Chain A
């Protein structure tokens, strides 16, 4: 009996954690879509959706049911296997980074010793993360860069010239902006001395700057711009530019397969917001919060968790705000901007950070 409980208990804890994390992220993502329609409506002098539920609160679920019950049309001359594979790849790669999000600090003040068989021994040191990976930053960057296959393969397999153009543009854009993105992260990694996302937050708690946005403001700006380009959002939404390419890579996709692409885009937005928050704004850490609540207690965890979500929501709002404000780049402008402006700026930031680290450690 004891052996069975001891094997099942950690699996059960992790399963509950995974369920809560994915469910929470997907709920936030669903309401990002509603928030986007509302905010865009206000920016354009409209009301936005307000028919389904009070203030349009049930709109995301109505959209979901519509996607499920729509007719699924597959182009006759498409490459079937790749055509079905592409949306799955896109959504899977978008959802995978949730595994390493640092949702909050470990709760150390609760005594778990009432649990039988010594099950509570390790719970106190358990941080609110599904998987503690030593290379969290690289994991997120790698998985999100694999996600572009979803878009590129969708464009190729649809047997449609607009889709193909969208896929090509997406892969060219990703290759160009990934360099700037990686180079802007190097500064943070050098200041923190670790690639672990929780480790980066603890490094910000111990650094004299509190948040890395202060010494790394250039890196922050470069990361945010490059991340906009990586998620194919306005003003970098050339892969789905509707005035030129109908709908770009997802022209031939309908019903639930389109919904998968749609969800992947918004989950990617969420991932970028989490990464910006963790790398530059201290993640769940807020300076001075430990004077109000004891560090490691349950109120501290709840307050820091709410602050973390609030910071993420600020960036999601910036996404929507920019979509309502800026026009789209031309393709040559996009390439020139990425290679001739962002990349040199990011490299200059790396050199600047080397100097900071050198003088701090002297």
Chain B
């Protein structure tokens, strides 16, 4: 009873934040709304007895990734979003995809309500950290490794994209010049000593 009430509170919060994310013209307001969505989702995870996933959701998405997003928005000082007149057809595509999603949701509701009172045997300890870790490094080791390699590729790609491709030539000239000066200075000293 309490759990389902809490679910509706947090789900409503998540949906409200998601709507505000889409409808705000200012990118920073959208980013804050997305943080709200993440926090509401992590509250739902807590009510579903998955505290590890809830904590990771806050730590990684709300605490690290969105901080980066907010940082970039603040750094670039973005203006309000302008409506794209050139891409009007995207609204139609979006409406079509939204209708498909809505139909899917209603189909799931319909399928569930056809067979009520089906309780699945669940283990309360599934959401515990130890069990998640054990499952990740035994049963699901291969997917974990693949995701790790994927993330490594993304990091290397980011480094390559951010790297300066051509070494600046000016520096070389300056170095030569400096070397020449140093040599002449040494010669000068030599002369003086003589």
Contacts and interface: CB of A to CB of B under 8 A. Distances in A.
Query: Do A and B originate from a single complex?
Result: yes
A175 B74 CA distance: 15
A139 B128 CA distance: 14
A82 to B, nearest CB: 7
Given A134-B51, A135-B52, A148-B67, A142 B75 contact: no
A146 interface: yes
Contacts of A152: 67, 70-71, 74
Interface residues of B, number: 24
Chain B interface mostly? helix
Interface string A141-185: 111011011001101100000001001100110110010000000
Given A138-B56, A146-B58, A178 B71 contact: no
Contacts of A133: 51
A40 interface: no
B51 A145 contact: no
B37 interface: no
A152 B28 CA distance: 11
Nearest to B52: A135
A145 B32 contact: no
Contacts of A164: 74
Chain A interface mostly? helix
A134 B35 contact: no
A155 B74 contact: yes
A230 to B, nearest CB: 11
Q: Which of A153, A168, A171 has its CB near the most chain B CB atoms (within 10 A)? A: A171
- By size class, the interface of chain A is 20 to 34
Contact of A178 (B32, B64, B75): B64
Contact of B75 (A168, A174, A193): A168
Contacts of A155: 74
B129 interface: yes
A134 B56 contact: no
Interface string B119-131: 0000000001110
A135 B70 contact: no
B129 A135 contact: yes
B149 interface: no
A175 B71 contact: yes
Given A138-B59, A142-B55, A155-B74, A171 B67 contact: yes
Given A134-B129, A167-B74, A195-B129, A149 B52 contact: no
A149 B67 contact: yes
B52 A171 contact: no
B43 interface: no
Contact of A145 (B29, B63, B129): B63
Given A135-B55, A138-B59, A178-B64, A149 B129 contact: no
B67 A143 contact: no
A149 B33 CA distance: 12
B159 to A, nearest CB: 13
B32 A175 contact: no
Contacts of A141: 59, 63
11 contacts: A133-B51, A142-B56, A145-B64, A146-B39, A149-B32, A152-B67, A153-B32, A153-B70, A174-B67, A194-B129, A195-B52
Interface of B: 28-29, 32, 35, 39, 51-52, 54-56, 58-59, 62-64, 67-68, 70-71, 74-75, 128-130
* Closest 5 pairs (CB-CB, A-B): A145-B63, A138-B55, A142-B59, A142-B58, A171-B71
Given A142-B55, A168-B71, 15 more contacts: A82-B29, A82-B32, A135-B51, A135-B129, A138-B52, A138-B59, A145-B67, A146-B39, A146-B58, A152-B67, A152-B71, A153-B70, A156-B28, A171-B67, A175-B71
